[in-house]
Chains A and B, each alone.
Chain A
Amino acid sequence: QSALTQPASVSGSPGQSITISCTGASSDVGSYKFVSWYQQHPGKAPKVMIYEVSERPSGVSNRFSGSKSGNTASLTISGLQAEDEADYYCCSYAGSGTFSVFGGGTKVTVL
C-alpha cells in the first residue's frame, strides 16, 4: 500500500489562492469518488474539510474546494487567511481490500 503523493509544503500570501495536489493510482484516487481532505493544526486532531472529492461538510468555509482529474485530486483554498496555516492530508478509499490510504501531508504556510 503506497501513500498518496502530496507536496511537502505550499505557501501563499493572505488573500491569495493555493492548490494542493494529491496523486494516487488507478486503484484508489482514479477509481473512486471517495477522496477526502483533512486539516490538522499542531497538537490537534484532524478535521474533515472535503469529502467525496468536492463536498463540504456543514460549517466548513466555502473558501475550501476540491476536485479530481484522473489519478490526481486537488484541494484549493481561496482567500487565504492566517487561520488556514496547518497541515493538510488527502485520503482515498482504495477498494474493499486495502480500503483506505492517506497522503503524506502538506504544510501550508501563510506568508
Chain B
Amino acid sequence: QLQLQESGPGLVKPSETLSLTCTVSGASISSSTYYWGWIRQPPGKGLEWIGSIFYSGSTHYNPSLKNRVSISLDTSRNYFSLILSSVTAADTAVYYCARGGFYYYALDVWGQGTTVTVSS
C-alpha cells in the first residue's frame, strides 16, 4: 500500500531555509506514470500548490514562490525533498506531500502533513 510521510523541523527561524523530505513507501518514485508534489495550508486558510517534480527530474513551481523554492528527487532512497529559502511568518503552514497521476493530473495519495512554524 502506497504511503507518503513528511519529515523535517517543525520550527524555522525567519530568513532561514525550510527543508522537508517526503519518504515514499509501497511504490517507486521513478515511475513514469506519476509525479510528486508539495502543497501547503496556512492556519485557517486554503490549499496552495507549491510545486511538482516528474520522474525525469523536471519541475514546475508556483510562480509566487519560484525564486525561493526547489524540489528534488532521491531515487536511490525513494524520497523527494522541498527547500524553501528566506522564509517569513507567511510561510507558516501545514506542508503536505502528494502523488499525482501523469495521465489525469490529480493528487490521489497524500501524506498526513507536517506543521512548520516560522518564528524566532
User: Is B one of A's binding partners?
Assistant: yes
* Residues of B close to A89: CB separation below 8 A: 46-47
B105 touches A93 (CB 8 A): yes
* Residues of B close to A104: CB separation below 8 A: 46
B106 touches A45 (CB 8 A): no
Among B51-77, those with CB < 8 Å from A are 51-52, 60, 62-64
Among A75-111, those with CB < 8 Å from B are 87, 89, 91, 93, 96-105
Chain A proximity mask over B18-58: 1 for CB below 8 Å, otherwise 0: 00000000000000000001010000001111011000000
A3 touches B46 (CB 8 A): yes
Measured CB to CB, the closest approach of chain A to B65, in angstroms, equals: 10
Chain A, residue nearest B113 (CB): A45
> Of the candidates B46, B60, B101, B111, which one forms a contact with A100 in the assembled complex, judged by CB atoms under 8 Å apart?
B60
Measured CB to CB, the closest approach of chain A to B3, in angstroms, equals: 12
Given the known inter-chain contacts A45-B110, A51-B106, please indicate yes or no for A1 contacting B46, CB distance below 8 A.
no
Chain A, residue nearest B63 (CB): A1
A38 touches B105 (CB 8 A): no
* Residues of A close to B113: CB separation below 8 A: 45
Chain B residues within 8 Å of A, Cβ to Cβ: 37, 39, 46-49, 51-52, 60, 62-64, 96, 101, 104-108, 110-113
22 A-B pairs with C-beta separation under 8 A: A1-B63, A1-B64, A32-B105, A34-B105, A36-B105, A36-B107, A40-B47, A45-B112, A46-B47, A46-B96, A47-B110, A48-B107, A48-B108, A51-B104, A87-B46, A98-B60, A99-B52, A100-B37, A100-B60, A102-B46, A103-B46, A105-B47
